[in-house]
């Protein structure tokens, strides 16, 4: 699955090349893919720890997607970050997300991919959403700075889920980014989650169920399910 000769090394691997794509479920001939991106920190050049709570937080979402798509030829994978943090203009998580998408494209050309990212992973998903392989994005309590670019999201479908009481990332930032993306030509939707905060632990079943429904709709090319309570269509 190597996509080039000049690949970055993993700072925790003793100089071995960094492999950003981790495949959890890989059918022989996948027809689509779901790529999970966990959260992190604003700054941190060291690698994520072995016991990485942001990565563990995404496991129930991966399990829920896997159960829902059982019997379908859908590849399930996640992004392995080199660094724990975003690190300003380096945007390390987005760089790893792009590399993982390139690896998926090399593995299976024309494979449609849905990105599911939480917090920093949501920011990385939104920033890389213009990649040719990306069909849609589900961003969970994403980190959305006010000056984030959106022009590349034209003709993409994105859904941002956020609890207004989140004290780590700002829900208003999600609503404003969705508005700007809509004006740039994206099919942008927002979902006001009634509980969950940033960790998505309270009301977790609702977060998992809605994410699974959204992923299935995006993979099938169906409209976003407006019947879900709290969805504000774009």
DSSP label of 188: E
pLDDT at 16: 62
Residue 183: other Cβ atoms inside 10 A? 11
Backbone angles phi, psi at 36, to 5 degrees: -95, 140
**Interval 82-110: pLDDT, tens:** 999 999 999 999 999 999 999 999 988 89
pTM > 0.95: no
Contact yes or no for 46/52 (Cβ under 8 A): no
**Interval 126-184: pLDDT, tens:** 999 999 999 999 999 999 999 999 999 999 999 999 999 999 999 999 999 999 999 99
**Interval 3-42: pLDDT, tens:** 233 344 444 444 567 889 999 988 888 999 999 999 999 9
pLDDT at 70: 86
For 52-70, what is the mean pLDDT? 94
**Interval 190-220: pLDDT, tens:** 999 999 999 999 999 999 999 999 999 999 9
How far from 71 is each of 33, 65, 215, 220, CA to CA, in Å? 14, 12, 15, 14
Contact yes or no for 101/78 (Cβ under 8 A): no
% of the chain at pLDDT higher than 90: 79
Which residue, chain included where needed, has tokens 């100089």? 15
Contact yes or no for 96/119 (Cβ under 8 A): no
pLDDT at 1: 25
Separation CA 174–CA 151 (nearest Å): 16
């Amino acid at each position: 699955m190597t996509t080039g000769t000049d690949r970055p090394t993993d700072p925790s691997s003793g100089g071995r090349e960094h492999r950003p794509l981790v495949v959890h479920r890989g059918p022989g001939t996948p027809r689509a893919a779901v790529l999970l991106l966990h959260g992190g920190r604003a700054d941190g050049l060291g690698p994520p720890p072995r016991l990485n709570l942001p990565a563990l937080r995404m496991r129930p979402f991966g399990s829920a997607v896997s159960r829902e798509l059982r019997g379908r030829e859908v590849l399930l994978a996640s992004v392995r970050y080199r660094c724990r943090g975003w690190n300003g203009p380096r945007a390390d998580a987005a760089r790893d997300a792009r590399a993982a998408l390139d690896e998926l494209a090399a593995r299976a050309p024309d494979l449609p991919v849905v990105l599911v990212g939480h917090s920093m992973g949501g920011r990385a998903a939104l920033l890389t959403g213009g990649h040719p392989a990306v069909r849609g994005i589900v961003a969970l309590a994403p980190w959305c700075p006010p000056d984030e670019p959106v022009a590349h999201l034209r003709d993409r479908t994105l859904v941002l889920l956020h609890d207004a009481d989140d004290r780590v990332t700002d829900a208003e930032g999600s609503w404003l980014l969705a508005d700007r993306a809509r004006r740039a030509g994206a099919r942008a939707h927002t979902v006001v989650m009634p509980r969950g905060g940033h960790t998505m632990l309270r009301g977790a079943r609702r977060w998992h169920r809605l994410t699974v429904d959204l992923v299935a709709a995006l993979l099938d090319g169906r409209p976003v399910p407006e019947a879900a309570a709290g969805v504000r269509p774009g």
